[in-house]
């Protein structure tokens, strides 16, 4: 089956709330994908008008995937736990202060043994895997950084070839 993105949009309104005792909370409201921006804005405005909590709204718009390309995918039982990760590390100059560096990590869970370079310790990713290289190239171009000024600074990332493999406690702290 080919990987494809469906056309049915779903909306999730996420309201981060905080009370006067600085206790945080999150309210998630699932909305029809056809809900207009004007109606979503009205919901936010009305919700804020009816609560004494501080509210920080955001909207998550999602298109589902209708299939996944799996043919030719090697399945390895050696790293089948999601706690086994490659932390794909990216860096770039801080757009607000070029003397500083910002970094982002993208976890690749239950990685394939074939992408780990065992000749180097601690282990780092191989540089000969075309699929891994393509993924890294896309992430270098498409990752986004939100600066302290609230502006978005996408792209311009450099892959750190010293990205490391390891394990993570997924039960206690998630990803």
Domain positions in the chain are: 4-67, 84-173
3-state secondary structure at position 41: helix
According to DSSP H, which parts of 3-162 are helical? 37-49, 130-142
User: Half-sphere exposure of 5 toward its Cβ, with a 13 Å CA cutoff?
Assistant: 4
Q: How much of the chain exceeds pLDDT 70, in percent?
A: 89
* pTM, 2 dp: 0.69
Give the pLDDT confidence score for residue 75 in this predicted structure.
Answer: 61
- pLDDT computed for residue 85 by the predictor: 86
What does the alpha-carbon distance between residue 167 and residue 152 come to, in Å, rounded to a whole number?
Answer: 31
Inter-residue contact 31 to 100 (CB < 8 Å): no
- What is the SS3 assignment for 146? strand
The pLDDT of residue 100 is: 97
Tell me which residue has tokens 């490391």.
164
Q: What is the pLDDT of residue 175?
A: 45
Q: Which pLDDT score is estimated for 71?
A: 60
Sorted by sequence, the CB contacts under 8 Å of residue 60 that are 6+ apart come out as 11, 12, 13, 14
pLDDT at 112: 82
Q: What is the DSSP letter of 165?
A: E
What pLDDT sits at residue 104? 93
Residues of the chain with pLDDT under 50: 172-175
pLDDT value of residue 44: 93
């Amino acid at each position: 089956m080919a990987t494809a993105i469906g056309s049915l949009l779903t909306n999730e309104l996420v309201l981060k709330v905080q009370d006067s005792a600085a206790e945080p909370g999150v309210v998630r409201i699932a909305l029809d994908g056809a809900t207009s921006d004007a109606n979503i804005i009205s919901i936010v405005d009305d919700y804020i008008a009816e609560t004494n909590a501080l509210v920080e709204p955001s909207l998550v718009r999602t298109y589902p995937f209708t299939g996944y390309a799996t043919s030719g995918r090697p399945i390895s039982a050696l790293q089948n736990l999601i706690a086994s990760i490659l932390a794909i590390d990216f860096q770039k100059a801080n757009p607000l202060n070029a003397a500083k560096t910002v970094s982002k990590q993208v976890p690749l869970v239950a990685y394939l043994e074939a992408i780990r370079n065992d000749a180097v310790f601690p282990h780092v990713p191989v540089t000969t895997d075309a699929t891994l290289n393509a993924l890294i190239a896309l992430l270098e171009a498409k990752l986004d950084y939100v600066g302290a000024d609230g502006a978005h600074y996408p792209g311009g990332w450099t892959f750190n070839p010293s990205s490391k493999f390891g394990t993570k406690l997924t039960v206690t702290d998630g990803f």
